[in-house]
Amino acid sequence: MEIRRISPEEMQAASDLSSQAFCHGEIQQFTGESENRVVDRYGIFDEHGLAAQVSVIQYQIHLGAGRLAAMGGVAGVACYPEKRGRGYVGMLLKYSLEQMRLQEQSISMLFPFSQAFYRKYGWEWAGEVRRYSVPAYSLNACPETDKFRRASMADMEAIKECYTSVANRYKGMIFRNDEEWRNLLENGDKLTNYTYIYAPDGEVRGYLIMKDGIRDKTSIREFLCTEIVAHKALMGMLRRMNMQVEQFKWKAPSDDLTWWSMGHNDIHTNVTPVCMVRIVDVKKALSVLNPSKSQCSSFSFLINDEHAPWNSVCWKVEFHDDALIVEQSNDEPDFQLSIQAFSQCYLGSPQCSQVRIAGGISVSNEEGFHSFEQLLSTSQFYLADNF
């Protein structure tokens, strides 16, 4: 048995496995890259060839204003049915963690088929996403709606600035490249894209994107605003479509403005985790944070990480005057936690105090734990994209 990167000459074998696992036999064609991103594909090979595989998509994510971090998006995890039960996927996930660390991808995310399965290897749920189902008749009229307009590709840079302004409020939003933005905003081969913006003075303060739908329901691909006036204006625009659409659906972060913009008993809100997250490299992840000038403290903690042993040490963290130092320590730790609990705390949703209440953190020094909270409680986790 051999674990290694899948070569370009072996992409047909990877396509065949993906076809069996995800597409019910529909033929797939892989190359060395996705449409817009570099993808690292790793496989387990036995005497019969490729038996299991995993893909790691290279992203950068926002970690608050002005901070980006490399993230490995795990996808395409597959194993032939006759090869399952041998631990192949577990071995591949551990191998992918080693490779992500080498590429300085300090954070990993995935959308799981089973939370319990990936939890065994260090991933844990994080964030809350609201999924709205809103009857068109429940939407309110708004005078500001008269200031919305349909966007064109000439507005792409202004829309990107609006997205970045929203993304800087959170940890986890993907830094999109221009090709991804064009794919999001341009018409498809069979579908017309409809992007509407609220920009009364030229600055885009909110936008929504619709690309498909039927009368019964239309899904909004993205609905982001920097202020509540923009949100109300665009909701008023949707109200004007009530003769075409009976119901709109969209997703939003847990601090979204919809409940502030309107209230109606027929609005349904489904709350679920955003995805699963994992810190690949604790030292690297902490080192990219940006403490404020007013923050000055230190703490030490012990991590338990069975599948990434480079994390399983006692860490000492000191931060002051915009500087943050992370190093291994022989000190008695102020608290102990698993890599799953640390990953949740790092992304900010759930908060450190909630993880502690749930039994994920054992505290021996309250002052040290408070300093840990102070460093990580700057913003919450949200991810608007799928992969």
One domain, residues 188 and 210: yes
Q: Using one digit for the tens of pLDDT, what is the confidence trace for 50-76?
A: 999 999 999 999 998 778 999 999 999
Whether 172 and 223 map to the same domain: the answer is yes
Alpha-carbon separation of residue 350 from 36, 50, 129, 132, 358 (angstroms): 31, 39, 12, 21, 10
* 339 and 363 inside one domain: yes
Q: Are residues 109 and 187 in the same domain?
A: no
CA diameter of the chain? 69
Which pLDDT score is estimated for 279? Answer: 98
| Range list of H helices, 132-255 | 156-167, 178-185, 228-239
Cα torsion 323, 277, 105, 44 to 10°: value is 160
> Of 102, 122, 142, which closes a domain?
122
Is residue 173 a part of any domain in this protein? yes
Q: String of b and e for 327-340 (b: at least 16 CB within 10 Å)? A: eeeeeebbbebbbb
Structural domain contains residue 384: no
| pLDDT at 19 > cutoff 70 | yes
Of 54-58, 143-147, 190-194, 325-329, the range with the lowest mean pLDDT is: 190-194
The domain that holds 114 is classified in CATH as 3.40.630.30
* pLDDT band of 33, cuts 50, 70, 90: low
pLDDT of residue 34: 54
Task: Give the per-residue pLDDT at 187.
Answer: 87
Listed residues 228, 243, 274: the one ending a domain = 274
Do 310 and 179 share a domain, yes or no?
no
Distance CA 362, CA 126 (A): 20
Q: How would residue 31 be classed by pLDDT, with cut points 50, 70 and 90?
A: low
How far apart are the C-alpha atoms of 139 and 158, rounded to whole Å?
27
Q: Are residues 8 and 111 in the same domain?
A: yes
Least confident residue range of 20-29, 50-59, 111-120, 361-370: 20-29
pLDDT of residue 66: 79
User: Does residue 94 lie within any of the structural domains?
Assistant: yes
Residue 319, helix vs strand vs coil: strand
Last residue of a domain, one of 65, 88, 122: 122
Lowest mean pLDDT among 22-31, 318-327, 351-360, 365-374: 22-31
- Do 164 and 72 lie in a common domain? no
State mean pLDDT over 159-179. 96
Position 216 in a domain? yes
Question: How many residues in the chain?
Answer: 387
Comparing 40 with 323, the larger pLDDT belongs to: 40
Residues 37 and 87 in one domain: yes
In a shared domain, residues 134 and 251: yes
pLDDT of the residue at 30: 60
Asked if residue 16 is part of any domain, the answer here is yes
**pLDDT interval class at 188 (50, 70, 90):** confident
In this structure, what CATH number is given to the domain that contains residue 320? Answer: 3.30.1050.10
**In terms of domains, do 57 and 161 share one?**
no
Q: Which two tokens stand for residue 295?
A: 């923050």
137 plus 117 within the same structural domain? no
Burial class (CB in 10 A: 0-12, 13-18, 19+), 80: middle
23-39 average pLDDT score: 70
In a domain, 385, yes or no: no
Does 340 map to a domain? yes
Is the CB of residue 274 less than 8 Å from the CB of residue 129? yes
Pairwise CA distance, residues 199 & 197, whole Å: 6
> pLDDT above 70 covers what percent of the chain?
97
Q: Tell me the pLDDT band of 122, cut-offs 50, 70 and 90.
A: very high
Could you give the number of structural domains in the chain? 3
Are residues 248 and 152 part of one domain? yes
Helix (H, G, I), strand (E, B) or coil at 84: coil
Q: Which range of residues forms the domain containing residue 233?
A: 130-274
The answer to whether residue 386 sits within a structural domain is: no
Q: How confident is residue 275, by pLDDT bands cut at 50, 70 and 90? A: very high
Task: Tell me the mean pLDDT in the region 252-266.
Answer: 90
Give the torsion sign (CA, 362, 104, 296, 332): positive
Q: Where are the beta strands (DSSP E) in the chain?
A: 2-5, 39-46, 49-63, 68-79, 107-110, 124-135, 148-150, 170-174, 194-198, 206-210, 218-225, 247-253, 268-279, 296-304, 314-320, 323-328, 335-338, 361-363, 380-381
Question: What's the CA gap between 8 and 40, in Å, rounded?
Answer: 11
